[in-house]
Structure 1
């Protein structure tokens, strides 16, 4: 058996060498330079030698490099020879057929014409065939063979494939729902039915629109804390007015002393004392107004501060504790401006309070 195989390989090598003679003796083509043709001849000789040593992968690389320079029937024939020995039967059959078509009517390719026919017939019988059909649930699925999607024509006919394992898969959208590995030997014929038993994934429900934002009820809104700034401002202004009134009250006292000195302690005063008396009346008026405004400002500032404190206590979340403090303290501090109160000053005003 081994001797027969060696004799067959030897005959193929001799035929390849004979078929390459046309390349080595062919006149230069106009599209290639002499250097390119010389390099191609050298590569062809290397390919023949490597093929004779059963190094078909290296020989195939040399012959394909030669084809990039001159794609003659002889070169195509030798490429097909290497592919057939490497198990690439489908590609080899295609190159044999291309070599046969290129050699038809070419007197320099008679050897190709004489040898290519039996090669084609042999491969057509050896190449395994795979039929892929759609089964249950696979009507709309994408069917793939070794990662390549199949068209309608390929799904309706037997597909020639190389011997060895092949992967048949099916996808629905971006999901792979079927994956099967099929191994074929030479001359095999197999049929694979792609059936999808997985239930289709339900479409995602439409996302509900977010409800419109509504303002929280007034009862749930946190109450703004009353500001103490107005009370402090009014209280400060009252104190300032009181200070001014006090200053002029001191000036009034000095003026009264001057009048006493000029008038001699009685009610009769000389005309020269009039300016001092007028200045005393002015100081008295300013002192009364300043002290009056001061007292009113202090009273109003205290009232504003008390009110803001009371509102802040009412807004506290811990209402129970606030109520307890109010009951323990005897109520909210109160203050009032009392006109003509006992002990009132020059403006006739007084401040009475309970704390």
Structure 2
């Protein structure tokens, strides 16, 4: 086995040397300088040496640098030789074919013509082939092989690939929905069917136009809770009126005492007691009015405070009932001063109230 490998390496070295001699003997092209050609010859010699030492990766880099200066059939043949030994069979097959086309009819490339046909035939048998087909749910998906999207022609034929692992994937939009790794050896032929089990996403429903702003009917609006401030003000005013009435009621009592002293306890009073009687009437009227207004204000203030603690919906029936009472002759609390009211004292004043 080792002897066979040595014989093969020896034949490759001899072939590379012959091709190198052909390259060195080639007439210089007008587009390159002597320095560039000299550097290319040196790189080619390094590539031959590295290939003989089985350092194909380094040799390939040298040959590719030479091809940038002179792309001869010999250089292309040696590039294909290195790629084939590195397992890049597909690229090697392509470079062999290009070298064969370039050597056709060139007397200086007879060595290439003599060897390239067997190399092409050998690789065509060794290169594995992968068939990728669309399965269920993949009709509209983008199919990729090793990250490159496949066209319709590639999907309908077998694809030559290098030996080793390959990634078959499918994308819908920007989402990868299928990813599978397939490993092939030399001469393998495999078929991969891409099936997508994921159901397609439903299209988003069209957005309905926003309805125009319509003010809610008055009945549906929540009623604002009445403020307690009016009730507090009325209650305070009622208390103040009652206090004033009480003060004047005290003054009235003092005036009555004075009249009793001047009149001697009967109804016949001297003229000098008239100012005191007038003052008594005034105190009585003010006291009765103040007390009456105080009672009415306190009652009204308490009523306002009670209704302000309820919702407007609960207050509306009360308001309707109050309106009915007013229409029936009830009305708001009233107080009136009645002169010469029955039961009045000397001043003859009274308060008549209705609530």
Asked if Structure 1 and Structure 2 have the same fold, meaning a TM-score greater than 0.5 normalized by the shorter chain, the answer is: yes
CA–CA separation in structure 2 for the residues paired with 1:318 and 1:17: 119
Per-residue CA deviations over 1:206-258 (Å, capped at 9, x if unaligned) read 23333322234456779999999999999999999999999999999999999
The 3 A distance-change label for structure 1 pair 302 and 323 is: closer
Q: Is the 8 A contact 2:239 2:294 kept in 1?
A: yes
SS in 1 for 2:353: strand
Contact 1:299 / 1:351 at 8 angstroms: preserved in 2?
no
CA change 1:247–1:129 in 2 (3 A) is same
C-alpha contact 1:291 1:347 (8 A) present in aligned 2: no
Offset, 1:38: 1.3
Counterparts of 2:318 and 2:189, CA distance in 1: 87
Tell me the distance in 1 between the aligned counterparts of 2:352 and 2:24: 131
TM-score by length of 2: 0.63
Question: Which stretch has the larger CA shift, 140-149 or 280-289?
Answer: 280-289
Structure 1 position 85, deviation (Å): 0.4
Query: Matched residue of 2:176: which SS?
Result: strand
Question: How far is the alpha carbon of 1:30 from its aligned partner?
Answer: 0.7
Please identify, of 103-112 and 245-254, the stretch whose mean Cα deviation from structure 2 is larger: 245-254
d(CA) in 2 for partners of 1:349, 1:316: 40
CA shift for structure 1 position 96: 0.3
Q: Deviations over 1:18-45 (max 9, x none)?
A: 1121222222111111111111111111
Distance change (3 Å), C-alpha of 1:146 and 1:272: same
Please identify runs of 4+ aligned residues in structure 1 that moved more than 4 A.
Answer: 216-355
For 2:341 and 2:227, how far apart are their aligned partners in 1? 31
Greater mean alpha carbon deviation, residues 272-281 or residues 8-17: 272-281
Does the 8 A contact of 1:314 with 1:322 survive in 2? no
Q: 1:201 to 1:340 in 2, by over 3 A?
A: farther
Structure 2: runs of 5 or more not aligned: none
Provide closer, same or farther for how the CA distance between residues 288 and 132 of structure 1 changes in structure 2, counting only shifts above 3 A. closer
Q: 1:302, 1:335 within 8 Å by CA — same for their partners in 2?
A: no
Aligned residues of 1:313 and 1:322 also touching (Cα < 8 A): no
Deviates more, 1:21-30 or 1:83-92: 21-30
Change (3 A) 1:274 1:337: closer
Aligned to 1:319: 319
Stretch deviating more after TM superposition (27-36 or 258-267) = 258-267
| Cα deviation 1:19-77 (Å, max 9, x = unaligned) | 12122222211111111111111111111111112111111111111111110000000
- Equivalent position of 2:255 in the other structure: 255
Q: Is the 8 A contact 2:137 2:196 kept in 1?
A: yes
Deviation at 1:328, TM superposition (A): 25
Task: Summarize the Cα distance change of 1:183–1:297 in structure 2 as closer, same or farther, 3 Å threshold.
Answer: closer
State the shift of 1:10 in Å.
2.5
Determine the structure 2 residue equivalent to 1:99: 99
Q: Is the 8 A contact 2:237 2:294 kept in 1?
A: yes
**Aligned pair in 2 of structure 1 residues 12, 295: CA closer, same or farther (>3 Å)?**
same
